[in-house]
Amino acid sequence: MALSVQQQTVYWGVATAVFCGVLWVLGDVIMPFILGGAIAYCLDPVADRLEKMGLSRVLSVTLITLAAFLIFILLVLLVIPTLVTQATALIEAAPDAPARLREFLTTNFPALLDEESTIYKQLLAIGETIQAKGGELISGLLSSAAGLLNVLVLLVVVPVVAFYLLLDWDNMVARIDDLIPLDHADTLRHLASEIDGTLASFIRGQGTVCLVMGTFYAVGLMSVGLNFGLVVGAFAGLITFIPYVGALVGGVLAIGLAIFQFWGEWGWMAAVAAVFALGQFLEGNIITPRLVGNSVGLHPVWLIFALSVFGALFGFVGMLVAVPVAAMIGVLIRFGITKYKESLLYRGKSGT
């Protein structure tokens, strides 16, 4: 005897609640497994391609692991030290930013900084706030990041988890498929296929876009000699998955730094702006259409909302799962809307 719709709703509702509870309780403990699973998911098509070329699964995964290890070593030797140095210098310089801005405006726009003016009073207030809270906030962020992303997790646990998940990925998918309720197997497989397509387009495709754009912005800003260019470029590339936000935030930050550094040298300031203008053109017209296409179906507002909600509820781990969960929910909502439009609730008597 099959379970009623109400009973199935209760069972799956309880399962969802348990999943969210586990995510909230375990938090940092499951983070390396989430990261390892994400890496394995992204690299599975590469392993499948190598298998089609005649290699065994073990050899395919071993070659991928060696290639990833070599890339990591190159990053450690060439990029990460500079990135850490610039990020540290930027953090240390942040509390002095209001004073430097006041000095800059005093030198170049003395009329704006009359002691009775609103701008002057606001700069003083900002400076006092940063001096009072800035150090505490930065220390809290650094200690939190150190607790979440400690060296042991990054260098040992995540690669090991990713290796074994990638090695057994096809078998795990087959086992999960075997557990699908038979009454709903076709529907669930169709939804799973759509979810996989959305995730593949977004995570693999958009992840590549973020990497390419971060490299482009960092190299471009460093080429024009902008201080902290590597940090600004990497940050802009990291948030490129939210359309226009990466270029907008990174561009505002870079141009703001350029004004301090290159004031009066209009050519260099224009060069900084040109880096982001060119990057936005390449991303919107060439890179994203080729690597991602139009099949993602994730609205920027929906992404920002998902990141905000999951980050507030589950912290850093929630932000890691926000995008894939948002993609899944988006597919389910579109499926639900399709079924709703096929139902009598929507069609009524006029549609019969």
The Cα 143–Cα 128 span in angstroms is 23
The Cα 179–Cα 3 span in angstroms is 16
Report the pLDDT value the prediction gives residue 93, as an integer from 0 to 100: 56
How confident is the model over 248-273, as a mean pLDDT? 79
How confident is the model over 49-56, as a mean pLDDT? 90
At 144, the pLDDT band (50, 70, 90 cuts) reads very low
Specify the amino acid at residue 247.
A
At 64, the pLDDT band (50, 70, 90 cuts) reads very high
pLDDT above 70: percentage of residues in the chain: 69
How confident is the model over 106-117, as a mean pLDDT? 58
Report the pLDDT value the prediction gives residue 146, as an integer from 0 to 100: 47
The Cα 116–Cα 309 span in angstroms is 42
The Cα 247–Cα 257 span in angstroms is 15
**Burial (CB count within 10 angstroms: exposed 0-12, middle 13-18, buried 19+), residue 46:** middle
Tracing tokens 């009329």 back to the chain, one arrives at 111
Report the pLDDT value the prediction gives residue 326, as an integer from 0 to 100: 81
Q: Residue 209 to residues 217, 242, 274: CA-CA distances in angstroms?
A: 12, 11, 19
pTM score of the predicted model? 0.64
Please, are residues 189 and 335 in contact by the beta-carbon 8 Å criterion?
no
Domain boundaries, the chain: 25-179, 180-296
At 63, the pLDDT band (50, 70, 90 cuts) reads very high
pLDDT tens column, 203-236: 777 778 888 888 898 888 888 888 777 788 888 8
Look over the chain and give the mean of its residue pLDDT values, rounded to a whole number: 75
Residue 244 scores a pLDDT above 80: no
The Cα 164–Cα 176 span in angstroms is 17
Please, are residues 188 and 180 in contact by the beta-carbon 8 Å criterion?
yes
